[in-house]
């Protein structure tokens, strides 16, 4: 079968505005949208620019706005997408070229929440910090984030104002805030309690719908707000 692929192209060196271009691409039902993009780049127009790495839904490089929703191009199959597919860059980020966006503000928000275990104390047995299975389960869900930015760039609050820290950063803060071994909980909660932190969530659930890992993002966000309340912060 042939698929009509519409791609929102933008070359800052040649174009004033982004524009749509159409390509007819041969495809099998089980092909992924990423395969179509490869076909265009390899056989039709080598200037098409996009980001991808593992191509198997693990690295999170190829989040794109496909058929009106954020998804990973490497996970979305032609048989689900249909014969007409539109692809554009994720929103709220500066487009560098075609489907490639500047991820730096996203990483900046991520770094802000200190996404690493903070604990300078010597473990009780001198070797390892033990944790009950129940305590481990508290961050099982949020530890699965692959930082693809599909959630943050699906959020209407983020579209309107990129100073919002965004769902992805909150998910990664949650992962350590509820970790019983971590000692920087209060510091992280302070960051989350900032006016640009968790309070800006409007529970629209676009993030939950966009997440390729099915992380319960809004639940994590509301659990962080509950922790802020318990800690007596505002």
Residue placing its CB nearer to other proteins in the complex, 131 or 225: 225
**Rule CB under 8 A: is residue 29 a binding residue for other proteins?**
no
- Does 226 help bind other proteins (rule: CB under 8 A)? yes
Would you say 12 or 82 has its CB closer to other proteins? 82
State which residue, 94 or 160, has the beta carbon closest to other proteins: 160
Q: Which of 12, 26, 29, 82 binds other proteins (CB under 8 A)?
A: 82
User: CB neighbours of 210 closer than 8 A, spacing ≥ 6?
Assistant: 69, 70, 71, 150, 151, 154
Q: Which is nearer to other proteins, 155 or 184 (CB)?
A: 155
**How far is residue 47's CA from residue 58's CA, in Å, rounded to a whole number?**
26
Residues 113-152 close enough to bind other proteins by CB under 8 A: none
Q: What is the full DSSP assignment across 5-71?
A: EEEEE--TTT-SS-EEEEEEEE--TT-BHHHHHHHIIIII-TT-----SSSSSSS---EEEETTEEE
Binding region for other proteins (CB under 8 A) out of 26-34, 45-53, 74-82, 96-104: 74-82
Query: Least distance (Å) from other proteins to the CB of residue 109?
Result: 21
Q: Which of 17, 46, 68, 232 binds other proteins (CB under 8 A)?
A: 68
Q: Which of 7, 36, 65, 192 binds other proteins (CB under 8 A)?
A: 65
8 A C-beta contact, residue 172 and residue 139: no
Residues 187-216 that bind other proteins (CB under 8 A): 202-206, 208-209, 216
Angle at 20 between CA 18 and CA 21, to 5 degrees: 125
Side-chain-facing half-sphere of 228: CA atoms under 13 Å = 22
Q: Helix-strand-coil percent breakdown of the chain, rounded to 5?
A: 35, 15, 50
Distance spanning both ends of the chain, measured CA to CA: 57
Q: Is 67 in the site for other proteins (CB under 8 A)?
A: yes
CB-neighbour burial class of residue 66 (10 A; exposed 0-12, middle 13-18, buried 19+): buried
From the list 19, 69, 130, 136, which residue makes contact with other proteins (rule: CB under 8 A)?
Answer: 69
Report the nearest approach of other proteins to the CB of residue 121 (Å): 29
Applying CB under 8 A, which residues contact other proteins? 65, 67-69, 80-82, 91, 154, 156, 202-206, 208-209, 216, 218-220, 222-223, 225-226
């Amino acid at each position: 079968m042939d698929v009509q692929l519409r791609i929102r192209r933008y070359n800052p060196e040649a174009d004033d505005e982004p524009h749509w271009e159409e390509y007819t691409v041969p495809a099998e039902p089980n092909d992924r949208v990423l395969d179509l993009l490869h076909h265009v780049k390899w056989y039709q127009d080598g200037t098409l620019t996009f980001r991808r790495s593992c191509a198997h839904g693990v690295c999170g490089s190829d989040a794109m706005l496909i058929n009106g929703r954020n998804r990973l191009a490497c996970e979305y199959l032609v048989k689900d997408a249909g014969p007409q597919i539109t692809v554009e860059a994720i929103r709220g980020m500066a487009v560098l070229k075609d489907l490639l966006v500047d991820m730096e503000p996203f990483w900046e928000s991520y770094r802000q929440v200190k996404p690493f275990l903070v604990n300078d104390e010597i473990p009780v047995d001198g070797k390892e910090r033990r944790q009950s299975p129940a305590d481990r389960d508290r961050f099982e869900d949020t530890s699965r984030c692959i930082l693809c930015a599909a959630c943050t760039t699906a959020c209407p609050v983020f579209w309107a104002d990129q100073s919002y820290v965004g769902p992805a950063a909150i998910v990664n803060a949650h992962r350590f805030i509820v970790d019983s071994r971590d000692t920087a909980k209060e510091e992280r909660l302070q960051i989350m309690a900032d006016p640009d932190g968790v309070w800006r969530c409007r529970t629209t659930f676009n993030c939950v719908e966009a997440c390729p890992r099915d992380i319960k993002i809004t639940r994590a966000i509301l659990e962080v707000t509950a922790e802020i309340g318990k800690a007596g912060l505002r």
